[in-house]
């Protein structure tokens, strides 16, 4: 018996919240939680910055997203196309987390990094399925609120895996857990998520248009993979020498230490490799007639302003991503905050404020509309970076400038503080503002991405758009690590603030086009027969 419309809407929004939680859980385990683990193991800041590249699959997920649009999994047909892929990826994520927990980052760094890349690949694949399912599940009027609830679930997961986990691993204040224990617990939670995905998610209607021939997509995907492998091999073999020839002599003439010069050469080699590999993969897709990928790209780029929107998507979160890319090492090492204090303020209180910001952003979007929301929240995101600049100029000796508080000891069973923990007022104020503004900006941004998708190619197009959105979060890591060591933290945060300006200028220029997405409901989830 079908649910009445209100109950059906509540069910959809609850599902979106649960899917946001499942999406956020492994993301923190390849990002901030992983950084905390590596920091505790004593790896250098520059090394941690380069290991942020384990998130590279998030920026390339549009290459395999067409397969998730095209194929149903054999043996999972009873779940449907979207739910089948979702259950499989969640179970695979649990398995990789168990392997990662059994690997030492200090003694087996290469194997650890490869497993972390595998975790990011599966996490990105889960995101592809979740984004497509959410976009197809929600009617256009529910997408603003749905985006807010998705961010809420996502941030709740990060409170657990990125915040409470830090308290668990604090030997003095928390439970004294090891990071492998944390990762094994997260594996168990993902098994539970797979069970809920199989049992609770509504099945989507079957597609109404026949898919392209399977052979073309399989050959196309194989060709793209071969192109990426070839590009990676050539970049690894010759990229370092080319980068050394381009910038080596210029760096040698400066005053940077030799180790830091090599990091800049490595960064140049990385950029050259990406610049070579992506066009090669695009050429391979075209030559092999990878129809689902090419059809999704043609559909997107056939709309007015498609290229401008892609550039804006890269820029909108760039300053925010740059400031946050190495935030955990900044707070733990440079500011000398304890793990428990960072866990409580930045990862728990801060992420609750992000949830509040996301919900507030969703409510404000009903009154402001999409364009004004993106503009206002973008200005607030820019201003929040200056708070970290202020902390960096104060340094560790500046703690206590603003009145703080003492969090009393507690033991809730799943998390505890062994002794009262002082909370610095400056850290609390900066984190509060940054997370509120970031939550609002993320809610508006997700709604914007959904408004651009054609439901015939939902997985492919949302993967493409969100891959461009993750460029800042993933690719600024190596540059951020090298730059922070080269120019110092205060200047680093000024640079992150300046990087937020181009998106706001571009948003003003795109005003009419963004307002058209907001005003015309037919552009939301438009279909193509």
| Domains parsed from the chain with CATH numbers | 5-203+304-521 (1.20.1250.20), 212-290 (no CATH)
Q: Are strands 405-407 and 416-417 parallel, antiparallel or unpaired?
A: unpaired
For the segment 477-505, the average pLDDT, to the nearest whole number, is: 81
Q: Which of 192-196, 211-215, 362-366 has the highest mean pLDDT?
A: 192-196
Q: What does the alpha-carbon distance between residue 502 and residue 514 come to, in Å, rounded to a whole number?
A: 16
pLDDT band at 301 (very low <50, low <70, confident <90, very high): confident
Kindly write down the DSSP assignment for every residue of 211-269, as one continuous string. Answer: PPPHHHHHHHHHHHHHHHHHHHHHHHHHHHHHHIIIIIHHHHTSS--HHHHHHHHHHHH
Above 60 in pLDDT, residue 522? no
Question: How is residue 297 written in tokens?
Answer: 């790209």
Q: Return the higher-pLDDT residue of 457 and 269.
A: 269
Residues 502/383, Cβ–Cβ less than 8 Å? no
Q: Which residue has 């959410």 as its token pair?
A: 134
Instruction: Please tell me the predicted confidence (pLDDT) of residue 521.
Output: 40
Instruction: Please tell me the predicted confidence (pLDDT) of residue 505.
Output: 92
Beta bridge partners of 410: 417
Above 50 in pLDDT, residue 413? yes
Instruction: Please tell me the predicted confidence (pLDDT) of residue 527.
Output: 37
Instruction: Please tell me the predicted confidence (pLDDT) of residue 82.
Output: 82
Q: What does the alpha-carbon distance between residue 514 and residue 504 come to, in Å, rounded to a whole number?
A: 13
Share of the chain above pLDDT 70, in %: 82
For the segment 388-412, the average pLDDT, to the nearest whole number, is: 76
Instruction: Please tell me the predicted confidence (pLDDT) of residue 524.
Output: 37
Q: Which of 64-73, 210-219, 263-272 has the highest mean pLDDT?
A: 64-73
Residues 85/73, Cβ–Cβ less than 8 Å? yes
Instruction: Please tell me the predicted confidence (pLDDT) of residue 467.
Output: 72
Instruction: Please tell me the predicted confidence (pLDDT) of residue 526.
Output: 39
Residues 349/427, Cβ–Cβ less than 8 Å? no
Above 50 in pLDDT, residue 466? yes
Burial of 333 (0-12, 13-18, 19+ CB in 10 A): middle
Which of 395-399, 447-451, 485-489 is least confident? 395-399
Q: Return the higher-pLDDT residue of 497 and 469.
A: 497
Instruction: Please tell me the predicted confidence (pLDDT) of residue 90.
Output: 93
> Under DSSP, is residue 201 helix (H, G, I), strand (E, B) or coil?
coil
């Amino acid at each position: 018996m079908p649910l009445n419309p209100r109950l059906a809407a509540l069910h959809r929004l609850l599902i979106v919240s649960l899917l946001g939680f499942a999406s956020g859980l492994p993301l923190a385990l390849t990002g901030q939680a992983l950084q905390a683990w590596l920091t505790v193991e004593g790896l250098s800041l520059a090394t941690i910055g380069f290991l942020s590249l384990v998130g590279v699959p998030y920026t390339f997920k549009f290459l395999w997203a067409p397969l998730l649009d095209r194929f149903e999994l054999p043996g999972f047909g009873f779940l449907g196309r979207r739910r089948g892929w979702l259950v499989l990826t969640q179970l695979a994520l649990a398995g990789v987390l168990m392997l990662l927990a059994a690997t030492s980052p200090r003694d087996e760094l290469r194997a650890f990094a490869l497993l972390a890349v595998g975790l990011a690949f599966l996490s990105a694949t889960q995101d592809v399925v979740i984004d497509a399912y959410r976009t197809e599940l929600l009617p256009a009027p529910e997408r603003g609120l749905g985006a807010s609830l998705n961010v809420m679930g996502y941030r709740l997961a990060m409170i657990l895996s990125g915040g409470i986990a830090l308290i668990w691993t604090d030997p003095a204040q928390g439970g004294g857990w090891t990071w492998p224990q944390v990762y094994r617990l997260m594996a168990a939670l993902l098994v539970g998520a797979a069970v809920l995905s199989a049992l609770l998610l509504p099945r989507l209607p079957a597609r109404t248009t026949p898919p392209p021939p399977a052979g073309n997509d399989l050959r196309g995907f194989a060709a793209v993979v071969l192109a990426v492998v070839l590009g990676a091999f050539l970049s690894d073999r010759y990229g370092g020498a080319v980068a050394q020839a381009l910038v080596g002599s210029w760096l040698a003439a400066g005053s940077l230490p030799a180790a830091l010069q090599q990091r800049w050469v490595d960064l140049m080699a990385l950029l050259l490799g990406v610049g070579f590999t992506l066009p090669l993969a695009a050429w391979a897709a075209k030559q092999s007639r990878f129809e689902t990928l090419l059809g999704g790209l043609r559909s997107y780029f056939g709309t007015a302003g498609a290229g401008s929107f892609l550039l804006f998507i890269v820029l909108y979160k760039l300053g925010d991503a740059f400031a946050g890319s190495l935030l955990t090492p900044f707070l733990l090492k440079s500011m000398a905050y304890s793990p428990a204090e960072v866990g409580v303020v930045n990862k728990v209180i801060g992420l609750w404020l992000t949830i509040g910001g996301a919900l507030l952003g969703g409510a404000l979007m009903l009154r402001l509309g999409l364009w004004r929301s993106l503009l206002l929240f973008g200005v607030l995101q820019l201003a929040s970076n200056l708070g970290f600049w202020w902390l960096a100029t104060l340094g560790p000796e500046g703690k206590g400038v603003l009145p703080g508080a003492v969090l009393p000891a507690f033991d809730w069973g799943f998390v505890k503080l062994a002794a009262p923990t002082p909370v610095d007022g400056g850290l609390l104020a900066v984190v509060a503002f940054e997370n509120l503004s970031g939550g609002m900006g993320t809610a508006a941004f997700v709604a914007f991405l959904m408004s651009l998708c054609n439901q015939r190619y939902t997985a492919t197009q949302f993967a493409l758009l969100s891959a461009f959105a993750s460029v800042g979060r993933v690719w600024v890591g190596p540059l951020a690590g090298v730059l922070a060591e080269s120019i110092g933290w205060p200047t680093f945060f000024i640079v992150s603030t300046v990087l937020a300006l181009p998106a706001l200028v571009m948003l003003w220029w795109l005003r009419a086009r963004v307002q058209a997405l907001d005003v015309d409901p037919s552009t939301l989830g438009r279909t193509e027969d």
